[in-house]
Structure 1
Amino acid sequence: MAIMITAILFALIGIALGAGGTQLLMLGGSAYYLLAGIGFLATAVLLYMRQSAALLVYAIVVIGSLIWAVWEVGLDWWQLGPRGGVVIVLGLWMLTPWIRKPLGFQSPTGARYSASATPLAVVLGISVLVAVISMFTNSTDLEGQLSEEQVAAAPNLGGNVPPGEWHQYGRTPFGQRYSPLDQVNVENVDELEEVWRYQTGDVKLPEDVGETTYQVTPLKVGNSLYLCTPHNWAISVNATTGEEQWKFDPNAGLNPDRQHQTCRGVTYYVDTAAQPGAACAQRVYLPTSDARLIALDATNGEVCTSFADQGTLQLEAKMPYNPAGYYYSTSPPVIAAGKIIIGGAVNDNYSIRSPSGVIRAFDVNTGELVWNWDSGNPTQTEPLPEGETYSANSPNSWSIFSVDEDLGLVYIPLGNQVPDQLGMGRSEAVEKYSSSIVALDINTGADRWVQQTVHHDLWDMDVPAQPVLLDLTQDDGTSVPALVGPTKQGDIYVLDRRNGNPLLPITEQPAPGGAIPEDFTSPTQPVTALTFRPERLEGRDMWGVTMFDQMVCRIRLKQLKYDGMYTPPSLEGTLVYPGNFGTFNWGSVAVDPERMVMFGMPTYLAFTSRLIPRAEVPAREEGQTGSEQGVNQNEGAPYAVEMGPFLGPLQIPCQAPPWGYVAGADLRTGEIAYKQKNGTVYDMTPLPLPFKLGVPGIGGPMITKGGVAFLGAAVDNYLRAYNLTTGEQLWESRLPAGGQATPMTYAVEDGRQFVVMVAGGHGSVGTKPGDYVIAYSLPRQ
C-alpha cells in the first residue's frame, strides 16, 4: 500500500513540475523543473512496477537537483531550502523499509531482501552535508567596518540645541538624527532597561483607513516630551517619569478618502520677543489630517488664538480642487527666520483633479502667508492675488524638510505628479521638479537649485526622506557644506548644499524604453556613486516555501514586463524593483557628523503595476477606504493602475530574502563598509520563529556619540541597538506593537540618558497596532 501511495504522489508531483516546467521553459526560463518532473514521473512508473531502478533514478533526481541548486545560488541556505526540501524529504522516505522491501527480491529460501539504496543514500548524505554547511555560510552579508576616526573635532550639528535635548524631528534643523550624548555606548548598551511606559489612548479603529500608522518621533525640550498620535492628538508628557502633562484633541474626524492617517511629529517654537512666562511664548504646532495647522501653548496645550484664525490655519486655502480627504500634512513643518514652512500629502492616483503640492511659508506668530512655491508654477512665489489658485496636481512634498539658516535655504524632498504611472501632458516645470531635491530661499521662496533623482518618473519614486545636512571634511582638510539625500531607488545623493553640485559623482545610465503609445520614457536615468540600488532580479532570485510556489514565481516573473530598473508601466503588468515602498523611505538615514559616516536600513521588496484602460476599470466599492495598493482609480485619466507587492501563491515575497539590511557607509569616499541582514520573521509567520532572514521595514535610525545606532522599523516588533562601526547587533527589546517610528534620545535632570521609542504599528506593512511610548535607560548606579 505504501509503495502505491508513494507512486501516486510522485506521479502528481511529476505532472505538476512537468506542466509548470514546460510553461516556464516556453517563456525562456530554467529547464530544471521540466527535467525534474520527468524524473519524478519515471520514478513513479518504476515504483508502480516495483522496480528497484526507481531508487537509482531518484538518486539522479537528487544529485541533479543539488548540482543545479548550488550552481544557481551557491551556499545560501534560504535559497537551497525551497529547492531541495521536498526532494530530500521524499528521498529519505525512499530509504525506509516500506519502500525498499517491495522493490527488493525474494531468495530461494523465501526470505525477502530490501533493494539496495546505496547510490540514493550517498547523494542524500552529500545533500544533507551541503545543507549543513550552508547553514553556517553567510553568503548575503557584506562584512566590514567604518573608520572610527573623529574627522571633525567640532562638528556642526545645526542649530543651538542643548546636548541633552531633541528639538526637531531629526533633533536639529540639519536632520542628522545624531545625539552628542555618550552615556549609553557600545560597552554598556546591552544593560538598557525599560524605565517608563506611557499609553496615549489613541488606538486604531475598525473604520480607520488601512494605513493608520504611528510614526511620531517625540521632541524633548526642558523636561517635557511633545508628540502627536495617528488621529492627531497632541500630547505632552514628563520626560523623566512619562506622566501625562496635557492632551489636545483637534477632532480631525475620520474620512475613508484619506490614504494615510498618521502624524510624524509636531514642531516646537519659542517666541523670543514675548515676555517670559507669557501665554503662548512657547508653542507646539500640530498638523492634522483634515488639513489644518493648529498652534498650541506648549505649557498647557491650550490653543494660541493669536495665530491665524483663532489659532487654526486652514491649509486648503486657494487649492484648485478641494475634495475632503485628498490633502493633509502628515509631517511636521519647519520653522526658520520667523516663518513656519509646510508642505502636504496629496492622495496618490485618486484623480487628476487633485489639490496642489504647493510649499508655503507663513509668519510663525500671525499665520499670515509670506510666500508660496508651487512646483507647477515655480516663478510665482509672492502670495497669490484674490481669486487665483495654485496649480492642480503639482508635485508635492509629504516628508520632512531640512534648514540651513546661515545659507538661508530650506531643502525640500519632492514627490511626483499623480497619476504616478502616467506621464502624459506633464508641464515643463513638472518635468523639471518632479521627484527631486529643491533648495528654496527661506525669505522669498525662490528656488536656488534643484537636483532631480528620476527623470519623467513613472514609478512613484518620490524623494521620500528628509535631506540630511552636515559639513563634510574633504581629504585636503577643507570643509564643504553638504547634503545627503536618500531615495527610494537606493541612490544616496551627496551634494554641496550651497549650489547642488555633486560631491560624489552622479552619472547618467541607459534606461529601458517601451512605454505605452501615449507616453514616453527617459533614455537615461541618474545613478550616484554611493548607491544601495539592488541588482536586477533573475529567475534564480525567485523564492517560495517549496519548489512549487518558487516555480510559480519564476513563471510570473517571465510573464511580467521587466527589463530591469525603470521598466515602464504596461497593460500586461510590469515588475517594479525597487517597489514604490522604496529602498529608503521617510525614515531617511542617520549621519555621524564627527566621523562623516551614515547608517541606514535599505529595504528590498519588488512590486507589480498594471495599467487598466478606463473602460475596464472596476467601480470603487461602497465603503472602500483609501489605499495605495490594489486598484487606484486615477479618475479623469485614460488608465487606472493596479499595484501591490510581488507575492507568491502563499502570499510571501516572490523574491528571495534578505529583504532588509542595516548598512554603514563612508560619506567622503562613497564606500559601503557593511551591509548585514536585519530582523526576523518572528511576527510574519503563524508560528513565532526567530529566523533572521532580513525583513522589510519602514522607519528611521538614530546615532549617538557613544557609537551606537538605534533602529526599530523592521516588521518584527523589536527595538535594536547596533555597533555603528561594524553593524553588529548589541541589544534588542521586544515591543508591544510595531516599531515603525524613529527613536530619539535625551538626558534628564539627574544626568541619565534615556532612549525613547514609539510603538504603534503600521497599517500597510501589517504590524500590530498600539499606542505605546517607551523609555529605556541604564540601571541606576
Structure 2
Amino acid sequence: MRFPRRRTVVVATGVVFALVGLALIGGGGWLAALGGSWAYAVIGIGTLLTGLLLVADRLSAFTVFALVILGTLAWALMERGFDWWPMAARGDVVFLLGAWLVVLGLLRPGRRLVAAGPVAATLLVAGGCGVYAMTRDVHDVAGSLPGPVAGATAAPRGGFSDGDWPAWGGTNHGDRYSTVAEITPANADRLEVAWHYHTGDLPRAGDPGETTFELTPVKVGDRLYVCTPHDYAIALDAETGREIWRYDPKIAVRSNLQHLTCRGVSYHGPENGGAAAANGECPARIFLPTADARLIALDAATGKPCAGFGDGGAVDLWQGMPDPKGHAGMYYSTSPPVVTASLVIIAGEVTDNYSTDEPSGVIRAYDVVTGRLVWNFDPGRPDVTTPIGPGETYTRNSPNSWIVSAADEALGLVYVPLGNPTPDQFGGHRTAEMERFSSSIVALEIATGRLRWVYQTVHHDLWDMDVPAQPSLVDIDTAKGRVPALVQPTKRGDLYVLDRRTGEPIVPAPEKPVPQGAAPGDRTSPTQPFSALTFLPPPLVEADMWGATLFDQLACRIAFRQLRYEGIFTPPSLEGSLVYPGNFGIIDWGGIAVDPVRQVAFANPSYFAFHSQLIPRAPEEAARTGSQPPPGGGSGQEHADETGANPMHGTPYSVEMGPLVSPIGLPCQQPPWGYVAGVDLRSGTVVYRHRNGTVRDQSPVPLPFEMGVPSLGGPLVTAGGVGFLTSTLDYYIRAYDVTTGRELWKDRLPAGGQANTMTYRAPSGRQMVLAMAGGHGSLGTKTGDSIVAYALPRRAAAAP
C-alpha cells in the first residue's frame, strides 16, 4: 500500500525527530552520567516521543513537542536568563523543529492545523523572549572614567618632541600615551586614510607557523622607523609614508624557530641625552634585534650599519650562551631593546615547552656607541652582574624576558617582565633561583644591573602565565600622596599596581589558597597572589559551555565534565585539565594604555579557555633533554608552541594542549570573548566594560555579529580623549571615547591587525594614527604587509 504524499512527509518528519531524539538521549545520557545536566536527555525523550507519535499519525505529537519547546525555553532562562547567544544555542534546533511542525499543520488544514496551534503559540513565546534578549546586553558594564587631575602632568619626554613616538611603548614609561590631541571624540568619525605603505615582506615557504606582523613603529622628527617579520629595517617619511631607506640583515630562517616576528626597533640619538657617537659616526642610530640572535646598530640617517658598534655594526647575542651549536634557533629577541642615555638593554625569548636544557634568560646591557658589554643579569646567578669572562657561560634555562621592558631614568631603574623557565607545564626540575624569578617583575639598576627588587605574580608557574606585557609607569594619587607606580598587566587578568621604587603593592594583592594535586614528580604552590584590581572572570561552570547548535554545545559540556577543573590554577594532569584563563591570556604582549594625566587605563581583555593533558613518556625517553638528536636521527626540534603536542624533553611528560573548542571549531565557552574596558587607577576599579569586535572574519559567511572577539595586541590613548585598537580577530581599526568606552569610528583593514597602534604629529602638524595589518600565523588571520596611516581631512584638522 502506498502512502499519500503528505503522509510520506509526516512519516519522514517523524523519523527525523526520532533520530534527533536518540542522539540527544545518547549524548545527554553520557553527560548526565558524568554528573552534568539532564536537560539534553529530557529534551531527547520528548523529541523521540514526538517522532514516534508522528509516524503513528497521532495528533498528540504536536502537544508533546509544544511542551518540549516550553521546557527548553524554561531551561534556557533558568541557566542563562535573557542572554541572547546562550539562549540561541539551547533553542535553535528545537525552534526549527517546531517551525517545521507548524508547516506540517499548514499542509493539511483541519484537525492537524488545529493541533499545531500550541506549537505555534509556544514558538511565538520563545521568539518573543529571543527578541527581548537581543535588545539587552547582560555583560555590559556602563560607566565613565574621571577627568584630568589638577596639576598632573605626563612623564618628561627628555629631548623628544611631544609629537614624537620615540619608543615602542610611546616612551620608556610604556604607557602608550600621546600628548597629541588633534583627534577628539567630536571629530574621530571623520578620520580617513592619509597614506598606505606595503613593506613587501610576506610569509615564505619554510617560515614557522607563527609568522606574524606585530610591529609598533617609532617616530622621531620627520621619520618613522619600522621592521618586518624577516627583520628588514625601514625608514619612512612620517608625512607621506614614502620609503627612505631599507636594510636587509639577511637572517637565516631556521626550521626550529618558534616565532618569526619583529615587534619594533629602538632609537638612540641626541634627544636621549647621551654622549655623541665616537668620531661623529651614527649620531642617531636604530637598534634592530634579529631572529638569528644579533643586535644590529644602524645609522638612522642612511640605514647603514654603525661600524664601530660591536663587530662591524652588530653584537652576537649567542656569545656566552651554553651549547650555542646545539641550541641554534632556540634563542633570539622578537622585541626591541630599552635604550637609555648610554645603554641599550636587551633580553630574549627561548622556545616554549621544548626542553629543560635551553639557552639562558640573561638580560644584558651594552654601550650604545661601542657595543661593549657593560653588565649582565643572569636570573640563575643574580648576585654577579659584572660581564662574564672568556669561556664562561650563562645559566641554562633560566627565566627569560620576551617582551619589552620599561625604564625610569630618574630613579635609575629598568623594569623587566620575566616568564617561566621551560617547560611551562612541569616544574619538578626547577632550582631555587628559577623559582625566585619565574613569572615576576624585576627592577634592576640601569647603571650596574644589580637587583633592586623582585615581585612574583605566579608562584611555581605551571600554566604558562608569563608576565607577558611591558609594565606601564605612572604616578598615582593615593591616600598617602602621589606615588610613582608601576602597573603590570598579566595573562591571568590581574593588574598589579606597585610602588616602582620598592615593589610594594599599592593596590592590595593578598595570597589566597588555590587547587592542589600536581602530577607525580611535581608540586603546586599552596597560595597565589590575587590583585584587587583585576579582569579575572568567575570560574567556568557547565552552563557556560556554548556552541552554534544544541549538539556542539552538548559536546562542549561533555568535554567540560571530562576535564579536571577547580577554577584558576587547576594543575596540569594526566586526565587533562581545563586552563582558564587560557594560554593566550586575558592581557598578552600588547599590554594596556595609560593616561598619566587622568590616571586611568584603557584595556582590551580577552577570554578564551584552553585545555592541557600531560602524557607520560617512556623512562628511557624521560632523561633525553632534547639538545641531542633523537634516536634514529633528525634534528630533535619537534613542534613546541601554545598549541598541539609539545615534547618537554627532560621531564617525565610531554603535553598536549590547545584552545577548548567544539567539534566544529567554535569556542566552547559562551561569548563575549573580548571587551574594551576602562580602569580608574586612583580607586583601583574597573569602571566600564563593553563587548568589542564581530565574527565577520571568523565565520564561514561574513556575518558582522557583535559578539565580542579576542584580540592580540594592545591599545593606545591620547590627550584628546580617544583610544585606538586594531588587534581584534576582525579586520578593523576602531576609535573609542576613553571616558565611556563608546565606539566612535572604525575602518576596514586589508589584513589582520594583530599589532599595537601608534600615533604622532606629522611635520605638517596633522595627527597621524598608524595601523599595522599583516595578520598572525597562530590565529589564522589574513596575512599582509600593510601600514595604513589615518588622519583628519585637512579641512577638518585643527591648527597644530
State the TM-score, normalizing by the size of structure 2. 0.94
Which residue of the partner structure matches residue 410 of structure 2? Answer: 406
Cα deviation digits, residues 544-573 of structure 1 (max 9, x gap): 110000000000000001111000001111
- Quick one: which amino acid aligns to residue 299 of structure 2? D
Q: 85, 91, 97: which one pairs with 1:84?
A: 91
Paired residues of 2:31 and 2:38 also in contact (CA < 8 A): yes
Structure 1 residues 89 and 690, CA gap change in structure 2 (3 angstroms): same
1:605 to 604, 608, 629: 608
Specify the alignment match of 2:627 in structure 1.
Answer: none
More displaced stretch, 739-748 vs 492-501: 739-748
Unaligned stretches of 5+ in structure 2? Answer: 1-7, 623-629, 796-800
Following superposition, the deviation at residue 155 of structure 1 comes to 3.0
User: 1:146, 1:666 within 8 Å by CA — same for their partners in 2?
Assistant: yes
Contact 1:259/1:628 (8 A) holds in 2:
no
1:707-747 alpha-carbon deviations (Å, 9 max, x no partner) = 00000000101010000001000011110011111111111
Q: Give the AA of the match of 1:263.
A: C
Question: Is 2:716 aligned against 1:716?
Answer: no
Q: C-alpha separation between the residues in 2 aligned to 1:540 and 1:686?
A: 26
For the pair 1:214 / 2:213, whether they are aligned, the reply is yes
What is the match of residue 353 of structure 1? 357
Corresponding position of 1:285: 287
Q: 1:276 to 1:255 in 2, by over 3 A?
A: closer
Aligned equivalent of 1:418: 422
**How many Å apart are 1:520 and its aligned residue?**
0.8
Out of 298, 301, 316, the residue aligned to residue 314 of structure 1 is 316
Measured after TM superposition, the shift of residue 625 of structure 1 is 5.8
Measured in 2, the distance between the counterparts of 1:175 and 1:774 equals: 23
Partner of 1:692: 706
How many residues are aligned here?
772
Mapping 1:599-678, distance limit 5 Å: 599-615=602-618, 627-678=641-692
Q: Deviations over 1:245-271 (max 9, x none)?
A: 000000112112111100001010115
Q: Identity of counterpart residues, as a percentage?
A: 52
RMSD over aligned CA atoms reads 1.8
The answer for the alignment partner of 2:626 in structure 1 is none
Counterpart check, 1:241 vs 2:237:
no
Query: Quick check: 2:267–2:284 contact (8 Å CA) kept in 1?
Result: yes
Shift of 1:642: 1.0
Q: Which of the residues 748, 753, 759 maps onto 1:745?
A: 759
Q: Is the 8 A contact 1:151 1:473 kept in 2?
A: no
CA contact (8 A) 1:576 1:609 kept: yes
Q: Which residue matches 2:102?
A: 95
CA-to-aligned-CA distance 1:627-667 (integer Å, 9 cap, x gap): 43111111222111111110110011111111100000100
Q: Partner of 2:226: helix, strand, or coil?
A: strand
User: Which residue of the partner structure matches residue 732 of structure 1?
Assistant: 746
Q: CA deviation at 1:119?
A: 2.2
Task: Name 2:176's counterpart in structure 1.
Answer: 177
Segment drifting more, 400-409 vs 381-390:
381-390
1:518 & 1:135 partners in 2: Cα distance? 50
1:44-59 superposed matches below 5 A: 44-59=51-66
SS of the equivalent of 2:530 reads strand
- Counterpart residue type for residue 23 of structure 1: W
Shift in Å at residue 152 of structure 1? 4.2
Q: How has the CA–CA distance of structure 1 residues 590 and 122 changed in structure 2, closer, same or farther, with 3 Å as cutoff?
A: same
SS at match of 1:93: helix
CA shift at 1:157, angstroms?
Answer: 4.6
Q: Which residue of 1 aligns with 2:18?
A: 11
Q: Quickly say closer, same or farther: Cα 1:286–1:645, change in 2 above 3 A.
A: same
Match in the other structure for 2:5: none
1:176-235 residue CA offsets vs partner (Å, 9 max, x unmatched): 110011111110011010011111110111321111001111111110000100000000
Q: Which residue of 2 aligns with 1:567?
A: 570
- After superposition, residues 472-491 of structure 1 pair within 5 angstroms as 472-475=476-479, 478-491=481-494
Structure 2 counterpart of 1:433: 437
Helix, strand or coil for the counterpart of 1:548? helix
Deviation, 1:524, is: 0.9
Which of 395, 399, 417 lines up with 1:395 in the alignment?
399
- What is the CA distance between 1:324 and its match in structure 2? 1.6
Instruction: For 1:149 and 1:462, locate their aligned partners in 2 and report how far apart those are by CA, in whole Å.
Output: 33
Letter of the 1:558 counterpart: R
Structure 1 match to 2:202: 203
Provide the rounded CA distance (Å) in 1 between the counterparts of 2:482 and 2:684. Answer: 17
Letter in 2 for 1:687: V
Q: Is the 8 A contact 1:424 1:519 kept in 2?
A: yes
Confirm or deny: 8 A CA contact 1:612 1:641 kept in the other structure: yes
Aligned to 1:765: 779
* Higher mean C-alpha deviation, range 404-413 or range 378-387: 378-387
Q: CA deviation at 1:97?
A: 3.8
Checking the alignment, whether the CA contact within 8 Å between 2:275 and 2:342 is kept in structure 1 is no
| Structure 1 residue identity aligned to 2:173 | F
Written as runs of structure 1 = structure 2, the 5 A alignment for 1:121-140 is 121-140=120-139
**2:105/2:116 contact within 8 Å kept:** no
Secondary structure of 2:384's partner? Answer: coil
Q: Which residue of 2 aligns with 1:380?
A: 384
1:202 corresponds to which letter in structure 2? D
SS in 1 for 2:607: coil
> Residue 277 and residue 151 in structure 1: after superposition, are their counterparts in 2 closer, same or farther (change >3 A)?
farther
Determine helix, strand or coil for the equivalent of 2:124: helix
Separation in structure 2 between the aligned mates of residue 446 and residue 181 of structure 1, nearest angstrom: 36
Aligned residue among 707, 716, 731 for 1:702: 716
Q: Which amino acid aligns with 1:93?
A: W
Deviation at 1:626, TM superposition (A): 5.2
Match of 2:695 in 1: 681
Partner of 2:3: none
- Between stretches 584-593 and 113-122, larger displacement belongs to 113-122
Letter in 1 for 2:344: I
Contact 2:545–2:557 (8 Å) recurs in 1: yes
Given residue 741 of structure 2, which amino acid in structure 1 is its aligned partner? G
- The answer for the alignment partner of 2:141 in structure 1 is 142
Partners in 2 of 1:69 and 1:621 — Cα distance?
Answer: 53
User: What are the superposed Cα offsets for residues 420-473 of structure 1, whole Å, 9 maximum, x if unpaired?
Assistant: 011102111111110011101111111111110001100000000000001112
For 1:93 and 1:571, how far apart are their aligned partners in 2? Answer: 46
**Which amino acid in the other structure matches residue 242 of structure 2?**
E
Q: Of 489, 494, 498, which aligns to 1:495? A: 498
Report if the CA contact (8 A) 1:337-1:442 is conserved.
no
In structure 1, C-alpha distance between the alignment counterparts of 2:11 and 2:277, rounded to whole Å: 92
Aligned pair in 2 of structure 1 residues 437, 124: CA closer, same or farther (>3 Å)? same
Measured in 1, the distance between the counterparts of 2:650 and 2:469 equals 30
Q: Is the 8 A contact 1:3 1:99 kept in 2?
A: no
Q: Tell me how far 1:116 sits from its aligned partner.
A: 2.1
Are 1:602 and 1:661, in contact at CA under 8 Å, matched by a contact in 2? yes
Label 1:275 to 1:175 Cα distance change in 2 as closer, same or farther (>3 A).
Answer: closer
Measure how far apart 1:615 and its partner are.
2.7
**1:108 maps to which residue?**
none
- Alignment-derived partner of residue 471 in structure 1: 475
Shift of residue 321, structure 1, vs aligned partner: 3.0
- Give the letter for the 2:496 counterpart: Y
Residue equivalent to 2:594: 591
- Cα displacement string for residues 675-710 of structure 1 (whole angstroms, at most 9, x for unaligned residues): 111000111012111111000110010000110000
Aligned to 2:546: 543
Q: CA deviation at 1:388?
A: 1.8
Moved more, 254-263 or 381-390: 381-390
SS at match of 1:10: helix
Answer yes or no: is the 8 Å Cα contact 2:583–2:610 preserved in 1.
Answer: yes
Of 504, 529, 532, which residue of structure 2 is paired with 1:529?
Answer: 532
User: Which range moved further: 395-404 or 744-753?
Assistant: 744-753
Match of 1:325 in 2: 329
Task: Indicate conservation of the 8 Å contact 1:146/1:597, yes or no.
Answer: yes
Q: Distance in 1 between matches of 2:200 and 2:376?
A: 37
**Is the partner of 1:756 in helix, strand or coil?**
strand
Q: Structure 2 CA distance, aligned partners of 1:762 and 1:655?
A: 23
Work out the CA distance in 2 between the residues paired with 1:321 and 1:760.
Answer: 35
1:385 deviates by 2.4
TM-score using structure 1 length: 0.97
Query: Retained in 1: the 8 A contact 2:214–2:754?
Result: yes
Query: 1:99 and 1:20, CA in 2 relative to 1: closer, same or farther beyond 3 A?
Result: farther
Task: Report the alpha carbon displacement of residue 150 of structure 1 after superposing the two structures with TM.
Answer: 3.2
Aligned partners of 2:639 and 2:645 also within 8 Å: no
SS in 2 for 1:506: coil
